[in-house]
Amino acid sequence: MHVSIFTRYIAKSLLTFFAGVVGVLTFVIFMNHFIKVLDIAMTYGTSFGWIVSSLLNILPDVFCLSAPMGFQIAILLTLTNMSENGELIALRAAGFSFKEIVRPLLACAIVLSVILIVMGNWLTPKSYKQFINRREEAYSKITKVTLEPKTFLDLGDWDLYLEDLDHSTNTAQQIHLVNKNDSGSLSTKVNASSGRIVLTDTAMGLQLKDGQMQRVDGKDPSSIIAANFDDYTMSISLIKARTRRLRVGEMTTTKLLRRLRKDPLTPALINEFRSAISMRNVLALSPLILLFVSCPIGFSLGKRTNKGWGMLFSVIIIFSFYLLMTLGLSLGKKYAWISYPGPWLPILVGFFVGRWLWKKRLNI
C-alpha cells in the first residue's frame, strides 16, 4: 500500500512538472510556426480554415521536439523539489533504495518513449506532409487579388489594367490584358471597352465586350494576328503550377526503408535516409537516457538546493545531448559506414556518463 502511494506521488509530481514545462516549450516553438503560417495567410489570402488546419498539422512535430526536453527538465525539477522538501532523505531513511525511487520515473519514461516512437516514425511524418501540402497550396495561389482601377495587377501569366471599376457591380471600363508567358509569340494582348469581372478563390472570369485580341508571332515579328469581338469570355487561373520533391521529414520510416530497399538512390540520399531513421528513434528513446543521466545528479543535490540548480543542470544536459546528436547526424550524412550509428552518439555517450555518475555519486 505504501509503495503504491509513493509511486503515485512521484509519478503525479513528475507529470505535473512535465505538463507545465512541455506546455511552455510547445508554446514557444509553436509561436514561431504560428507567425510564419499567419504571414503566409496574410500574403496569399488563405482562409481561416487553412490556418487552423496548418497549425494542427504542425503540432505533432512540435510535441516530438518539446517532449524530450520537457521530460528532462521535469525529472530534475521533481528530484530537486523532493530534495528541497527533505522527501528524498525521508524515503531513504524509510528503506527505499535509489532504484525503487527511480522505478515510477522509469515507467513514465517508457510510456513517453513508446508514444514518441509511434509519433516520430509514422504519425508526425504524415501530419508534416499535410502541413507542407497546405503550405504549397497557399504558395500556388496568386497573391490575394484586390481589384483597383488605374493599377497594373499581376495575375501570374497575365497583367491586368482597368481604367475604371464599379465595385458594386464589378463592371470595368477600358480593360487591358497582356500575356507575359506566351512562348509562341512576342506578345499577346486583349483589349476591351468594357466588361464584367467575376472573382473566385481559384480563378478570375472576364466577360468582355467590344474589344480586340492581338498576337505578335515570335518567329516573325512583322506577322500580327488581330481579331475584333463583340463578346468574349475568358478565365485566368489564380493557381500556379508547382512541382516539389518529397522531403525526408514527410515520409514515414516504413516508406524510407522501402525506398532504401527498392529505389535507385544516390549515396548522399541513402545516408540522409538512414540518418533520419536513426535520429527519429534516438529522439524517441531520449527520455530513457536523459532519465539515466539526470537521476544521479538529482539524488546528489542537497536539501538546500533550490529548483534553479535543477534548471541549470537540465540546460547543460539538454544542450550536450542535442549537440552530440547534431554531430552524429552530420557524420552520418557524410559517411556511409556511420549513417545508421552516427545519430546514436548521444545515447552511447549518455549511457557511459550515466553509468559513471551512478557509481561515482551513488556508489551503485
Please write the tens of the pLDDT for every residue from 92-113. Answer: 888 888 888 899 999 999 999 9
Which of 11-15, 57-61, 121-125, 215-219 is predicted with the least confidence, judged by mean pLDDT?
Answer: 215-219
Q: Name the strands in the sheet holding 185-199, side by side, starting at the edge strand that comes first in the sequence.
A: 152-155, 158-166, 171-179, 185-199, 203-217, 224-237
Considering the entire predicted model, what is its pTM? 0.81
Q: For the chain, give the mean pLDDT.
A: 88
Per-residue pLDDT at 1: 40
pLDDT of 3 over the 90 cut: no
Sign for the CA dihedral angle at 186, 190, 191, 196 comes to negative
Tell me the CB-side half-sphere exposure of residue 280, using CA atoms within 13 A: 26
Task: Give the pLDDT band (50/70/90) at residue 288.
Answer: very high
Structure-model confidence comparison of residues 201 and 299, the more confident one: 299
Q: What is the per-residue pLDDT across 128-149, written as a single tens digit (0 to 9) for each?
A: 999 999 888 887 776 667 788 8
Per-residue pLDDT at 124: 96
Mean pLDDT of all residues in 265-290? 96
Give residues with Cβ within 8 angstroms of 226, minimum separation 6: 212, 213, 214, 215
pLDDT of 248 over the 50 cut: yes
Burial class (CB in 10 A: 0-12, 13-18, 19+), 353: middle
Q: In whole angstroms, what separates CA 311 from the centre of its chain?
A: 26
Phi then psi dihedrals of residue 298, to 5 deg: -65, -40
Q: Are 102 and 318 in contact (CB under 8 A)?
A: no
DSSP letter (8 states) at residue 49: H
Q: What is the C-alpha separation between 32 and 245, in angstroms, rounded?
A: 24
**Cα-based angle 32, 35, 37 (whole degrees, multiple of 5):** 110
